[in-house]
Amino acid sequence: MELIDLRRNDGTLTGEVKERSLVHRDGDLHGTSHVWLVRYRPSKGSADVLLQKRSADKDSFPGYYDISSAGHIPSGQDFLESAVRELEEELGVKAEPEELHFLFTHIGYHEQEFYGSLFKNHEYSRVYLYECNLREDGFQLQKSEVESVRWIDYRECLDGIRNDTLKHCVFPDEFEKLAESIEAYFQETGRPLASAATAETWAEDAQGELEDWIEEQGIYIRQ
């Protein structure tokens, strides 16, 4: 049984604790940690974010693309502690707490029917950024939770979310703010990203992604 603390809009605890399934039945506000993994792409003047594809056996949003690593805050735990734990459990990434950069808080609500029951998700989230350069096959996935992972240019991901061409369960307003935070993060670390006006077109990005993948896999194409 997974017990979760209920929260107020400012993130403080109400003192009430409920079982996870009841929280989503009733739409109670509860805490979650969101960790977005990013990697710098100097050749493109851009950055990628890691999406995880949720397991087909999940009770909500099966097979949807989701945040790199996310999870409920178990009763009695805090956000950062949970973020570090989920990162290792879901992706096999062992990070120190100080390596996670806190970005902002977010409140989101969404309801949708799964398996004949209405699933109500009302989250108070603390959103973190973690820079990581592992290849997709370098992650150790928790198969009960994560089917696969995918690096994608953050602008392409934003475009897919805005235009609903990406099957996802990410809060659009969270990713909008994340995109701004990614740009600010790389600016502050001396690696400014190219502006959208001067960045490659999406078609060129897609070609670049293919070429990068071919190079990473060690595949050579006969001319």
- The amino acid that residue 40 corresponds to is Y
Judged against a pLDDT cut of 90, whether residue 208 lies above it is answered with: no
Domain assignment present for residue 114? The answer is yes
Q: What's the CATH code of the domain at 186?
A: 3.90.79.10
Total domains in the fold of the chain = 1
On the question of pLDDT at 109 being above 70, the answer is yes
Query: CB of 5 within 8 A of CB of 13?
Result: yes
Residue 223, domain member (yes or no): no
List the domain range (segments joined by +) for residue 154. Answer: 3-217
Q: Which residue has the tokens 């001396």?
A: 190
pLDDT of residue 1: 87
Percentage, residues of the chain above pLDDT 70: 87
Least confidently predicted of 14-18, 52-56, 130-134, 200-204: 200-204
Res 220: pLDDT? 46
Residue 216's pLDDT is what?
Answer: 62
Q: pLDDT at residue 223 above 50?
A: no
Number of Cβ within 10 Å of residue 11's Cβ equals: 14
* Any domain includes 86: yes
Q: Please indicate, yes or no, if residue 99 is contained in any of the structural domains.
A: yes
Whether this prediction's pTM lies above 0.85 is answered by yes
Condensed to tens digits (0 to 9), the pLDDT of residues 155-167 reads 999 999 999 999 9
| Average pLDDT for the chain | 92
Name the more confident of 195 and 219.
195
- Please report whether residue 175 resides in a domain: yes
- Is residue 222 assigned to a domain? no
Interval 22-51 mean pLDDT: 97
Residue 113 counted as domain residue: yes
Instruction: Tell me, yes or no, whether 163 lies in a domain.
Output: yes
Using 50, 70 and 90 to split pLDDT, how confident is the model at 222?
Answer: very low
How high is the pLDDT of residue 90?
A: 98
- Please state the rounded mean pLDDT for residues 187-213: 68
